[in-house]
Amino acid sequence: MWCFPLEKKLSEIKEQFKEHRLTPQRRLVLEIFLENRDGHLSAEEVYQLSREKKGEIGLATIYRTLELLEALGLLHKINFGDGRSRYELVPVDYSEHHHHHHLVCLVCGGILEVEEDLLHQLEELIEAKHNFCIVNHNLQFFGYCSRCQQDGGKDKQG
């Protein structure tokens, strides 16, 4: 998705921290998202990854940092209906990576990104009909991943 090194991305991110200090804890959370660019991480997952990196950061600090990073437009918050918010890194040029959708497995909770966007014509129709400028959309499909289907559907939710 991104093809520039971590340090270059961090230098661009620092620009968005004009009114906020880029503390070591905030930097750690950003590094975790940069290292897991295709991930959809919850606060608890970020906390676990920070512990693996020997980071000194509490869960409450992670929650506050995630809220700040979302407010600064660096993270996008997503709810997949599993009771926890997940976050993904927003690309530097969001218009370049405008549309993507998610497949959410109801058994294992796995999340796959779908890059194909077949809604472009629908967006144009909605914009014209309602005089509305769409800048993005989010679409989620819920079902069963191939691995859970092969397991015989023992634990499928009704």
Q: Strand, coil or helix: what is 79?
A: strand
Residues 22 and 42 grouped into a single domain: yes
Residues 50 and 122 grouped into a single domain: no
Residues 152 and 109 grouped into a single domain: yes
How many domains is the chain built from? 2
Residues 91 and 107 grouped into a single domain: no
Of 52, 79, 95, which closes a domain? Answer: 95
Provide the whole-model pTM. Answer: 0.61
CATH number of domain containing 113: 3.30.1490.190
Q: Please tell me the predicted confidence (pLDDT) of residue 95.
A: 45
Q: Please tell me the predicted confidence (pLDDT) of residue 96.
A: 47
Residues 104 and 85 grouped into a single domain: no
Of 95, 112, 146, which closes a domain? Answer: 95
DSSP state string for 105-118: ETTT--EEEE----
**Distance between CA atoms of 140 and 106, rounded to whole angstroms?**
12
Q: Please tell me the predicted confidence (pLDDT) of residue 62.
A: 95
pLDDT < 50 stretches in the chain: 1-6, 8, 94-97, 158
Sheet containing strand 140-143, edge to edge, reads 111-114, 101-105, 140-143
Residues 115 and 126 grouped into a single domain: yes
Whole domain around residue 125: which residue ranges?
98-158
Residues 91 and 105 grouped into a single domain: no
Q: Please tell me the predicted confidence (pLDDT) of residue 122.
A: 85
Of 41, 72, 95, which closes a domain? Answer: 95
